Amino acid sequence: MTDVHEVFDAVDVIRTKRDGRTLTDGQIRWFLTEYTAGRVADEQAAALLMAILWRGMDPRELDQWTAAMIATGERLDLSGAGRPTVDKHSTGGVGDKVSLALVPLVAACGAAVPQLSGRGLGHTGGTLDKMEAIPGWRARLDADEMVRILRTVGGVICAAGPGLAPADRKLYALRDVTGTVESIPLIASSIMSKKIAEGTDALVLDVKVGGGAFMSDVGQARLLAETMVSLGHAAGVRTTALLTAMDTPLGRAVGNAVEVTEAEEVLAGGGPADLVEVTLALAREMLALAGIDADPDTVRHDGRGLRTWRAMVAAQGGDVAATLPVASLRHVVRSPSTGFVTRLDARAVGVAVWRLGAGRARKEDTVSTTAGLWCHAKPGDAVENGQPVLELAVDDPSRLPDALAALDGAFTIGPEPPAPVPLILDRITA
């Protein structure tokens, strides 16, 4: 707590950072506590965020800022799970349904995976939106229910409650409207405050890099990963990060229900090779941090992963026997020539699927469970003139023209296949 003899003023805190000086622990704790309570105005918080964007934060400041954000709310106690706890966070991409397969795979190996997830905004999809394509499935769990499912099934995918890092909830909304989203200290503290508050023992970060990711520059992505790993270690959470490629959509399906189906294929021992590679790489990182000697690919092929998935869905009210909803209209985009796909723009695909209705422009928007897209050919694949490359699915035909406009120039056909590009770009441990 802040020393009762210390007296603070919001303008003084803003000036400190504006002038390039270091905020004290007391200033940080006071500002975030008072802002969360509504006693510091949004205008003042916006000014401090802009000062942080321009001036940055040193490691001690950022540790204290993150700890103070956590202290504005509760911290979950997962000790009742009866298993080592480990979680994963992705910075978001196109076709990134990794969590849907990863959570039951790692849980089937003996870990407890408390996957607190979010909803999609813009061209990147949200894990909760995908799961809600399953009839009856519930995103909201209270802490006791979450621990019970972790103990009996091993994994949950659910929404973060309002009590976790409430300062971040307010600051996140403010950053979105004040041009301060891009600050690495603010991104890192936003992600890590919630992940640390959820009470997991270990965490693996999937930091996406490329045209379809939040960060297109590998150097900036590496800096973000290093910053988050450092914050995790400072808070006593064993943390590693993988930098993974996101210039091309991950897997073949992009949307909500269609991505659930593809994740189930992975759990049944199949699925696209790129999606399987990233999922297994993250699973092995998680199991290593949890101290569990198990092979997630064995679990994927022997049926345990799929059984754990079904148990996890059922535990959250989902009907595992239900047929997922299907869109009423299909539209195929064909190759204009014979050759090889040399490029498929992940961002363009993500925007197209968003325009079909699978994503949202504002947090309060509803999403379509059926809207989606399949990538029938991806970079390296040979195609004939007129062969399907992309296939769109939608219920509302009025959405199709804008989606097709987003795909204009989204892929390139060339005479030779492109050089292979690695999916796992780097591993950050400290």
The token pair that represents 49 in the structure block: 């965020």
389 DSSP 8-state letter: E
- Rounded to whole angstroms, the Cα distance separating 48 from 42 reads 10
First to last CA, the chain: 29
Angle between helices 218-234 and 59-71 (to 10 degrees): 60
Query: Which residue has 């079909």 as its token pair?
Result: 356
* Active-site residue, selected from the candidate residues 17, 97, 130, 194: 194
201 DSSP 8-state letter: S
- Closest among 153, 125, 103, 92 to 282, alpha carbons compared: 103
Q: What are phi and psi of 375, to 5 degrees?
A: -95, 100
E strand or H helix that includes residue 290: helix 273-290
Is 175 an active-site residue?
Answer: yes
Is 89 an active-site residue?
Answer: yes
Note whether 195 and 231 are within 8 A (CB).
no
CB proximity list for 34: less than 8 A, separation 6 or greater: 10, 40
Q: Which residues pair with 199 in a beta bridge?
A: none
Is 170 an active-site residue?
Answer: no
Note whether 187 and 167 are within 8 A (CB).
no
* Active-site residue, selected from the candidate residues 63, 168, 274, 345: 168
Is 189 an active-site residue?
Answer: no
* Active-site residue, selected from the candidate residues 189, 190, 193, 230: 190
* Active-site residue, selected from the candidate residues 17, 55, 89, 195: 89
Is 347 an active-site residue?
Answer: no
Maximum C-alpha span of the chain: 76
| CA dihedral of 35, 38, 40, 41, whole degrees rounded to 10 | 110
* Active-site residue, selected from the candidate residues 175, 195, 238, 376: 175
358 DSSP 8-state letter: I
Q: DSSP letters of 230-257?
A: HHHHHTT-EEEEEEEE-SS-SSSEEESH
Note whether 158 and 139 are within 8 A (CB).
yes
Note whether 275 and 251 are within 8 A (CB).
yes
- Rounded to whole angstroms, the Cα distance separating 397 from 393 reads 9
Q: Which residues are identified as catalytic?
A: 89, 168, 175, 190, 194
